[in-house]
Structure 1
Amino acid sequence: MTQATLGRNGVRVIAHRGASHDHPEHTLAAYRQAIADGADALECDVRLSADGRLVCVHDRRVERTSDGRGVVSALTYEELAALDFGGWKGEPHRGARVLLFEELLQEALGAGRPVGLAVETKHPTRAGGRLEAELVRMLRAYGLADGASGLVEVMSFSRNALTRLHRLAPGLPAVYLMERRLRPVRPPFAGHAGPGIELVRRDPGLVARLHAKGLRVRVWTVDEPADVELCLRLGVDTLITNRPREVRELVSGLLAER
């Protein structure tokens, strides 16, 4: 297993859309900062453009994160690339274009140390299963689809998406993301469960129950020191955060005190 797979001190810190507290989400600046901050892995959301390009955009529409309008899947890559995705926290847009997943993949592979990718496929979308098929095709082109490197994980709130991903690339580690309580059945083909921090706050015993099912647990989005302490106390395996440097330092300090 790689260093990126194991994480420091056994607890992984994943940068949520990059170091997105400090830079616009899903931009090269955010991901390069996350790598510099020592994140074990980079989280991204992927969608398909109208012409089948895999782009890193969270929302169904582009209004929140760009100076344009429209649905991602209805815009071609050329149309998306003409938009400014550098707007952030009410500041003027700053000249960042839409990020292709392949560009992020190359950035992670060229980091000079093992840096993982945690890739969420967004649903529902008009692309349907083509989204997972294109993601696996891209990973296969880089020799990463069999999961042997330990560098890539796939994530989704959609059980159907996880099922498709398993059929296409059964070796890829999968994460079932959760906003509500997990049903009694085990999530399909997933070795990890990903509850949101609000759910963990309301039901701290959830982490132990998920571990009892044989699942590793990652929690999103963990930015506050009290939430980091709670997750470590409960034995959470992975933290997804907008603040990778601060959270990594806090994790190291808290674990050193034990």
Structure 2
Amino acid sequence: MTAQPWPYPRWIAHRGAGKLAPENTLAAFRLGAQHGYRMAECDAKLSADEVVFLLHDATLERTTDGHGAAGALAWSELSRLDAGGWLGRAWAGEPPATLAGLAAFCHANRLLLNIEIKPTPGVEGRTGEVVAAEAARLWAGADVPPLLTSFQPEALRGAQRSAPQLPRGLLLDTWIDGWFETAHILGCVAVVCNHTLWDAASVHRVHAAGMRCLSYTVNDSRAAQRLWDLGTDAIITDRVDLFAPD
């Protein structure tokens, strides 16, 4: 099967700027763009009142001054948290970001986006539906839509229901049973793997099905070169300071 045209660059900045700025904040996306990256990855979940906001963890403690389950709070409460001080005093007071706020930045700076749907446990399908619908609204008319990815097939099914026109990718940390069939059923355009999983056979299998091969999170030059030699299509990295984007 012939792959569809691929509009995304080879290098993608993880959570905005990797570990150089508070992840998933607008400060991180500004820094990644300053390093020349044309595409970034973010994590998106729902507040209790279904505002799509950016956070990786299910809980707030690691990257904010909040406590408990992030999805249990309304956006009015989440928006008042400090999402930068955990990384250093220079970032103190940096607020959490919404997908709408990031979309405005992306449009103004021609930054492409990979949105990882990161649902609170128990609301996978609903999170996929709302994130995809919001992304479709925010990128309506855009030349290149965001790429929606998730480790949770149910979240991708939700995205497929609410915005089937947006491209989807299945995230994998290991080769789970039925991964290939799941990616096919979900209409995925890409499989996004822990970079150590890829070998010549798996790359060939994915490419032969018309899908692309993406990798996370690659911070070593030798690992990156191995992936390019295998013919993979894109790399997600923290090291926006090390790898010059294409």
The TM-score bracket by the shorter chain reads 0.7 to 0.9
Say if 2:111 is the partner of 1:115. yes
Aligned-residue offset at 1:189: 1.1
Conserved? CA contact 1:221–1:240, under 8 Å = yes
- In structure 2, how many angstroms separate the alpha carbons of the residues matched to 1:175 and 1:32? 25
Counterpart for residue 158 of structure 2:
164
Aligned-residue offset at 1:186: 5.1
Residue from 181, 185, 194 that aligns with 1:185? 181
Per-residue CA deviations over 1:201-232 (Å, capped at 9, x if unaligned) read xx554223322332201100011111111111
Conserved? CA contact 2:14–2:41, under 8 Å = yes
Counterpart for residue 57 of structure 1:
55
Conserved? CA contact 1:19–1:25, under 8 Å = yes
Counterpart for residue 101 of structure 1:
99
Conserved? CA contact 1:222–1:242, under 8 Å = yes
- In structure 2, how many angstroms separate the alpha carbons of the residues matched to 1:224 and 1:41? 19
What are the within-5 Å matches in structure 2 for residues 2-17 of structure 1? 5-7=7-9, 12-17=10-15
More displaced stretch, 135-144 vs 188-197: 135-144
What are the within-5 Å matches in structure 2 for residues 35-50 of structure 1? 35-50=33-48
Conserved? CA contact 1:186–1:213, under 8 Å = no
Per-residue CA deviations over 1:68-107 (Å, capped at 9, x if unaligned) read 2110111111221222111345x35611111111100100
Residue from 208, 215, 224 that aligns with 2:204? 208
The alignment-based identity, stated in percent, is: 31
For structure 1, list consecutive stretches of 5 or more residues without a partner in the other structure.
253-258
Counterpart for residue 127 of structure 1:
123
Conserved? CA contact 2:118–2:150, under 8 Å = yes
More displaced stretch, 125-134 vs 213-222: 125-134
Conserved? CA contact 1:38–1:245, under 8 Å = no
SS of residue paired to 2:243? helix
**C-alpha RMSD of the superposition:** 2.3
Conserved? CA contact 1:228–1:247, under 8 Å = no
Letter in 1 for 2:102: L
- In structure 2, how many angstroms separate the alpha carbons of the residues matched to 1:161 and 1:155? 9
Counterpart for residue 3 of structure 2:
none
SS of residue paired to 1:110? helix
Alignment CA distance shift 1:129-1:159 (3 Å): closer
- In structure 2, how many angstroms separate the alpha carbons of the residues matched to 1:162 and 1:130? 10
TM-score if structure 1 supplies the norm length? 0.83
- In structure 1, how many angstroms separate the alpha carbons of the residues matched to 2:49 and 2:196? 37
Letter in 1 for 2:7: T
Aligned-residue offset at 1:127: 3.4
Counterpart for residue 226 of structure 1:
222
Letter in 2 for 1:150: V
- In structure 2, how many angstroms separate the alpha carbons of the residues matched to 1:109 and 1:126? 32
Conserved? CA contact 2:171–2:193, under 8 Å = yes
Aligned-residue offset at 1:131: 1.7
Aligned-residue offset at 1:6: 4.1
TM-score if structure 2 supplies the norm length? 0.87
Say if 2:75 is the partner of 1:73. no
